[in-house]
Amino acid sequence: METLVSTATRRNWSRLNVKWNGHKLTRRANKTNSVRNIVPTEYYSNIENIPIIENIISTIDKLDVDLFSAMYSIALNIFNSEKLAEGVSSDKANVRKFIAEYSSLSINKELMSYKLPNDEEDLLGLIYQSLCKEGDKNKRGLYYTPLHITRKLTAHLIFSESQTFFDPCCGSGSFLRSIKTVRPTQLYGVDCDRIAVMLCKANLILQYQYFEFYPNIYCFDFLSEQEAFDTDEKRMILGRKYDYIYTNPPWGAIIRNNSISHNYGDAFSCFLHRASKMLSNNGSLMFLLPEAVLNVKTHARLRAYLLDNYSVDKLHYLNNLFTGVTTRVVALTISRSINCTTQIVSDKDTVEYIPTSTFRNSFNFMFLPTTSKDKFIVDLLKNKGKSTLADSVWALGIVTGNNAEKLLDVPVDRSEAIYTGKEILPYRLLPNKKYIVYDRAQFQQAAKEEIYRAKEKLVYKFISNKLVFAYDNKGSLFLNSANIVIPNIPAMSILSALLFLNSELFQFAYNRLFGGVKILKGNLSKLPFPYLTTAEDMRFSSIARQLVAGNTDLIYDANMEVYNYYNVADKQIKYIKEVIGYGTTA
């Protein structure tokens, strides 16, 4: 961890007396070190079972039993209830092999006899996820995909007897169990979590209990180059090609000491790169990924690799799937086929097709669903674009280094108001909730004071999927959840720039050009602004001034002024509103 913290940052922490033990800040909420339980409500088949599962979790917490043994005891409990075993014996060869494989684990009699609900599709995976602490789940990417989602994503797959399906991050087996096949020997899975591998084997035995087989599920690190091919089972798994590779890889982990990680770094990119090499000529690969993979610059190299070597067949938006994870999810499907179009499926299951060449021609090879209709509207801005925000003054809000200590709930001597991103509305600010004593020497990071004290400036939300800009002419202070820009656009006043930036049309253009949940300086700097006449600038700035003063009835007028300036047709306005959710409101 020490190598991830810059010398300058450690120097700031030392100067500010921020406690750091070489592994983490000790005065900071950190999800990766959280010890609370996260109940994956999306994973329940029947929400009425929540109190039952909570009782099971509470019972396990009170018992003197390790997690591996607890889950093994519950697996045996389910085998017994399904008449596949009696105690720790069975007349089925695969169940006997399962029991023998895990015979070193202790068996808890209370958990073996506990009355379990019988209407949960993956009771083992549900209990295991509920037992794991938030920090552990984040470090290991332990967020299992609900079966109704994996069934939806695999419903179109039809297997011949010679085809194979592989999940390199199989967890408790959601994707493997969703495949419509009568021959479970066609299914293969890997996970580095020993407990997950055990649960996956148990689930497949339960699902195919009338088929004599032992699951092809193996425990090793799919990305480990040191361990690769050092056993027969690894050579068997890693040395073959698969017709279908579907998975939900870990998202947050950083991979090191791996040749793939030198190019990609994060776990899901490394998994995707390696798995893609194992795809058969006629096969397809589908990964559940954070939406950021589509447009964030960090992942540009991965996108370029996919465009150069594969066909990007489908992007399926799935919104927020996992409890405790705010990131939107997208299912990315690639293949080795020659396909010039990409299918875009919205979270409402509407379908459209766009040329894949759109991605190659975009900034940083962004995988954004820009249709010909989108391009026509964006080109209206570009055709009148004479300048950008590139030469403007930019700044970040203050990083205090310790908000709990430095932000005050009530004013004191020498303190002043400070605003956060939460107080930023289109055009205006909500009343501040915090105060601060301005002392640059005590802050971890701060912009030049003259920027904060500027006669006029615009501030905008940094974490947002919409453009939300407010006007400040009081020299106010802002925290780092708010960014600052002082526009320098020829023939356009700051208030007119404010109106354009808050308009539905510019919101649409930003969405289609860049997407994402962060409003980035680099992206804003590329937005095209027109050259206004003096009369036009006066008209736009007059409306903006009234909106800053609180006359929110003029929001509609402001948007229509921008639409009319660019000659946007009514049907295009309707489409823009549908795409952005009716734009901004004050």
pLDDT above 90: residue 324: no
pLDDT above 60: residue 426: yes
Whether 79 contacts 85, CB under 8 Å? yes
| pLDDT band at residue 88 under the 50/70/90 scheme | confident
Average pLDDT over residues 523-528: 94
Instruction: Please provide the DSSP assignment of 191-217 as one string.
Output: ES-HHHHHHHHHHHHHHTTTS----EE
Helix (H, G, I), strand (E, B) or coil at 460: strand
Average pLDDT over residues 320-346: 81
Average pLDDT over residues 403-417: 94
pLDDT above 60: residue 266: yes
Whether 434 contacts 407, CB under 8 Å? yes
CA angle 238, 244, 249 (to 5 degrees): 70
pLDDT above 50: residue 3: no
Average pLDDT over residues 404-415: 94
Average pLDDT over residues 430-451: 94
- Residues 233, 251, 159, 154, Cα dihedral to 10°: 160
Both structure tokens of 174: 């959601």
pLDDT above 80: residue 343: yes
Higher pLDDT pick, 71 / 227: 71
Amino acid identity, position 514: F
**Cα separation of 24 and 63, whole Å?**
31
pLDDT of residue 255: 61
Higher pLDDT pick, 36 / 172: 172
pLDDT of residue 223: 87
Q: What HEC string does 219-268 produce?
A: ECCCCCCCCCCCCHHHHHHHCCCEEEEEECCCCCCECCCCCCCCCCCEHH
pLDDT above 50: residue 214: yes
Average pLDDT over residues 69-94: 92
pLDDT of residue 494: 98
**Cα separation of 126 and 129, whole Å?**
5
Q: What is the pLDDT of residues 143-196, one digit of tens each?
A: 788 888 999 999 999 888 889 999 999 999 999 999 988 789 999 999 999 999
Give the strand order in the sheet containing 477-478: 434-437, 415-419, 477-478
pLDDT of residue 38: 62
Q: What is the pLDDT of residues 541-563, one digit of tens each?
A: 999 999 999 999 999 999 999 99
pLDDT above 70: residue 64: yes
pLDDT above 70: residue 120: yes
pLDDT above 50: residue 8: no
Q: Give start and end residues of each alpha helix (H) in 87-156.
A: 93-101, 109-113, 123-131, 134-140, 147-154
pLDDT above 60: residue 261: no
**Cα separation of 376 and 379, whole Å?**
5
Average pLDDT, the chain: 86
pLDDT of residue 470: 97
Average pLDDT over residues 403-421: 94
Q: What is the pLDDT of residues 233-254, one digit of tens each?
A: 888 899 999 999 999 998 866 5
pLDDT of residue 109: 92
pLDDT of residue 365: 87
pLDDT above 50: residue 420: yes
| pLDDT band at residue 137 under the 50/70/90 scheme | very low
pLDDT above 50: residue 203: yes
Average pLDDT over residues 479-488: 95
pLDDT above 90: residue 297: no
CATH numbers and ranges of domains, the chain: 2-33 (no CATH), 393-580 (3.90.220.10)
**Which long-range contacts (C-beta less than 8 Å, at least 24 apart) are formed by 89-92?**
92/209, 92/212
pLDDT of residue 42: 80
Q: What percent of the chain has pLDDT over 70?
A: 86
pLDDT above 60: residue 27: no
Q: Max Cα separation, the chain?
A: 89
CA–CA distances in Å: residue 378 to residues 300, 353, 570 = 22, 18, 15
pLDDT above 70: residue 98: yes
Q: What percent of the chain has pLDDT over 90?
A: 63
Both structure tokens of 37: 């339980």
pLDDT of residue 258: 55
| pLDDT band at residue 20 under the 50/70/90 scheme | very low
pLDDT above 70: residue 2: no
Both structure tokens of 316: 């399926």
pLDDT of residue 145: 87
Instruction: Please provide the DSSP assignment of 334-350 as one string.
Output: EESS--SEEEEE-TT--
Whether 60 contacts 111, CB under 8 Å? yes
**Cα separation of 192 and 220, whole Å?**
5
Whether 512 contacts 368, CB under 8 Å? yes
Whether 254 contacts 266, CB under 8 Å? yes
Higher pLDDT pick, 243 / 257: 243
